[in-house]
Amino acid sequence: MASQALVNGRVLLDDGFHDDVAVLLDGSGRIQALVPEGQARIEAGKVRDLGGGWLLPGFIDVQVNGGGGVLFNNDTSPGAIDTIGRAHRRYGTTSFLPTLISDTAEVMERAIAGTREAIAAGVPGVLGVHLEGPYLAPARKGTHDAARFRVPDAAEVAMATSLDNGVTLVTLAPEQVPADTIRAMVTRGAIVCAGHTAGTYEQIRAGLEAGVRGFTHLYNAMSPLQGREPGAVGAALESREAYCGIIVDGVHVHPASLRVALAAKPRGTLFLVTDAMPMVGSDDPSFELYGETITAVDGVVRNAAGALAGSALDMATAVRNTVRLLGLPLEEAARMASTYPARFLGVDSRLGRIAPGWQADLVLLDEALQVQATWVAGAASDS
């Protein structure tokens, strides 16, 4: 891969946007240096004029159920994971966790094996796997199949945490899983989040003490905050350390509730997720889950019972919504899509920043915040 110089962009660095900086990419997929626009070194490599667009760290989505017409539950092969990643890349997502909705142990094993193979084969952007269930609460099941819910034994814990070349994220209901089991998952290297939980405030606090590190799609599928019962939402908002993924599509959560979370949580602990289904990057609005056809209507994805069944959201739209619905500056919305999820996943030593030595995962937005190009490990793709 030839070296490149990206010029004439508004570049998001650690201290904000700069319009007088050129980003030099080396031939190995990393950022070589940040130099003044006029510096002669720019001429040493291929020069790309960014046309005054916003150059941001590539987006990182920790909850991607599908894309490009593929649902991860239905096809766990490396090729399917690649298809999902390519579908989301046109919307600025340069790293992601393919996400498995509650399923059998056999499907879970295939999902982990497919993820391992995809990472080993160099499928772009795959950081690991997200197992959303099946250790969830029937009362907060959403579109998950409660018939597949169970409490994992030691053998299943070992299987669920067996990915040895990437990140494993497990979403569970803390009141459904013994604290020692949560500790065992964390000890084996998994990141554990609370989600699809009917737990009381006290049960969620016990889960946090056992090692729960975050909350999956805050507000959705969890016990709400009330005056005399804070529930899972209250525990999430109170915690100074716990991270929270949020779906900013104007459907899953009212913007006012998200603004409350922004006011309550320390900066850097809320990050954007899509919870995307196969219609993202596809012309087909329908897909099959558990033998049921689910269709997005006016951009809203629900199952036959009326429960929200993931989303048709992409990360670029989530960033735009964060600016327009929540009133945050683009700088912060971009960090919620890149820097903060990188920290949550523990990959922030190489992803989530535009800085020398970091992987050259980048996204270019125009004035309307539409994606114009992405770079994954220095390889460019125009939208």
The yes-or-no verdict on residue 205 having pLDDT over 90 is yes
- Please give the annotated binding residues for Zn(2+), written as ranges: 132, 196, 217
How far apart (Å, rounded) are the C-alpha atoms in residues 114 and 9?
A: 38
pLDDT tens-digit readout, 325-343: 999 999 999 999 999 999 9
Strand extents, DSSP E, 9-119: 10-13, 16-18, 21-25, 31-36, 46-49, 54-57, 59-64, 66-67, 70-71, 93-101
Does pTM top 0.95 for this prediction? Answer: yes
Whether omega before 134 lies within 30 degrees of 0, making that bond cis, reads yes
Give the orientation angle of helix 231-238 with respect to helix 255-264, to 10 degrees: 40
Quote the percentage of the chain above a pLDDT of 90: 92
How far apart (Å, rounded) are the C-alpha atoms in residues 102 and 43?
A: 52
> Which of 75, 275, 314, 361 is labelled catalytic?
275
pLDDT tens-digit readout, 206-223: 999 999 999 999 999 999
- Please give the annotated binding residues for substrate, written as ranges: 143, 220-221, 228, 252, 308-310
As a whole number, the mean pLDDT across the chain is 96
The yes-or-no verdict on residue 168 having pLDDT over 60 is yes
Please indicate whether residue 275 is annotated as part of the active site: yes
Question: What tokens does 108 get?
Answer: 């879970």
Q: What is the average pLDDT across 293-305?
A: 90
Residue 27 pLDDT grade (very low, low, confident, very high; cuts 50, 70, 90) = confident
How far apart (Å, rounded) are the C-alpha atoms in residues 94 and 92?
A: 6
How far apart (Å, rounded) are the C-alpha atoms in residues 162 and 175?
A: 24
In sequence order, the 6+-apart residues with CB closer than 8 A to the CB of 357 are 30, 31
Domains of the chain: 4-56+353-382 (2.30.40.10), 59-345 (3.20.20.140)
How far apart (Å, rounded) are the C-alpha atoms in residues 320 and 249?
A: 10
pLDDT tens-digit readout, 67-108: 999 999 999 999 999 999 999 999 999 999 999 999 999 999
- Please give the annotated binding residues, written as ranges: 132, 143, 196, 217, 220-221, 228, 252, 308-310
The yes-or-no verdict on residue 40 having pLDDT over 60 is no
